[in-house]
Structure 1
């Protein structure tokens, strides 16, 4: 019976906090892009399953991003006084 129970989630655990921040960030970016998030649908519905799969793909892309597509903005040199 004990093996069927979910592990205790400690909201103070840094891993939990990082995962939560990533989830919120991906959700906000998806919302800004006009995409649906899993929590927009009833759990278990066909729409929820599609949204979960798409959301997971976005999470993986966020985790695997090396930042190489970041915009390189040249810094203007400040004249010496």
Structure 2
């Protein structure tokens, strides 16, 4: 079976636009991008988490929202 072509799906297009927008804002702020590091490295994981937090903040339009920060604690929970 061939996977569905999602390039014209409105939800996919909105998610892509949000990702591109967050990436552009991060670049303007001098923040790193996940593409700046090899996939799977410690640095890549840290930037992916930071990028995800920025996406959540953009989606909720709450730039100082602390409740949804995605962070791993040292216990691995």
What TM-score do you get using the length of structure 2 for normalisation? 0.73
Q: Partners in 1 of 2:33 and 2:17 — Cα distance? A: 15
User: In the TM superposition, what are the counterparts of 1:1-81 in structure 2 within 5 Å?
Assistant: 8=4, 10-65=6-61
What TM-score do you get using the length of structure 1 for normalisation? 0.70
- Tell me the number of residue pairs that the alignment of Structure 1 and Structure 2 aligns: 62
Ranges in structure 2 where 5+ consecutive residues have no aligned partner: 63-77
Runs of 4+ deviating beyond 3 Å: none
What is the Cα-based RMSD across aligned positions, in Å?
A: 2.0
Larger-gyration structure (1/2): 1
